[in-house]
Amino acid sequence: MPTEPTRFFPVPAGDQAADFTLTDALARTGGEVPSPVIGMIWAQTADGVIGAGGGMPWHLPEDLAHFKAVTEGHPVIMGRRTWESFPEQYRPLPGRTNIVVSSSPALGEELDGRAVVVDSVDKALDTAWQSPGGDEIWLIGGAALFEETAALAHVAVVTVIDTTAEGDTFAPRLGPEWTFVGVNPASGWHTSANGLNYRFALWTRAGQDAAE
């Protein structure tokens, strides 16, 4: 399991460590670290908005850097609309096997090898597990994919942005089986160069197995 110091995971409240790895987070749940680890990652407002009109109603470069640091080197799974929401120059996301779940049989030809197109989440997970860096698999959206896979994921890495921006797409609801691990910073907010306040939260779903 990768534990590079440059990979950021939030520090639990009361912990003095400067960095926190995904392996550490899962170990704190008291169970074995599954293989592969399946994670969800998204950014949201305090009200749970994750998108508006096919995009994000904010610009937060620090979160984009965080997203890259967490997911780079590992396969990412997304729905078609999430794929289409990325600017053309960032499709596919570099350094990651891009897997798109779509019921459209023509999409594979349309994407022309830039991403692997599959018609189910099960096939997406199988493909991801066999891809480079498949010890960690990241689900990156959209809302429908999150809802379908929340019961399969072990980890949720959530950027909470202090904004009242309105939107039409919302984060999945994490049920009682999810455990809040910590937030960074432990109190208050980080402040972006553009003035937006934000923080990173980490949740785990304990005692689950990737083969369920």
| Ordered DSSP codes for 58-99 | S--HHHHHHHHHHHTTS-EEEEHHHHHHS-GGGSSPTTS-EE
Asked whether the CA dihedral 141, 147, 151, 157 is positive or negative, the reply is positive
Residue 29, domain member (yes or no)? no
pLDDT of residue 61: 93
Q: How many domains does the chain have?
A: 1
pLDDT of residue 119: 94
Helices assigned H by DSSP within the chain: 22-27, 61-71, 80-85, 107-111, 121-129, 143-149
pLDDT of residue 209: 47
Residue 19, domain member (yes or no)? no
Residue 199, domain member (yes or no)? yes
**d(C-alpha 66, C-alpha 71), whole Å:** 9
**d(C-alpha 60, C-alpha 169), whole Å:** 18
Amino acid identity of residue 41, one-letter, is I
Query: Exposed e or buried b for every residue in 46-68, given b needs 16+ CB within 10 A?
Result: eeebbbeeeebbbebebbeebbe
Residue 27, domain member (yes or no)? no
Residue 134, domain member (yes or no)? yes
CATH code, 136 = 3.40.430.10
Residue 101, domain member (yes or no)? yes
Residue 7, domain member (yes or no)? no
Residue 43: give the domain boundaries. Answer: 36-205
**Segment 116-130 mean pLDDT:** 97
Collapsing DSSP to helix, strand or coil, 22 comes out as helix
pLDDT per residue over 48-59, tens digit each? 999 998 888 999
pLDDT per residue over 44-100, tens digit each? 999 999 999 888 899 999 999 999 989 999 999 999 999 999 999 999 999 999 999
Collapsing DSSP to helix, strand or coil, 202 comes out as strand
**d(C-alpha 49, C-alpha 35), whole Å:** 31
In which region does residue 165 sit, left (phi positive, over 0), alpha (psi from -120 to 50) or beta (all else)?
A: beta
Q: What's the pTM value of the predicted model, to 2 decimals?
A: 0.87
Residue 25, domain member (yes or no)? no
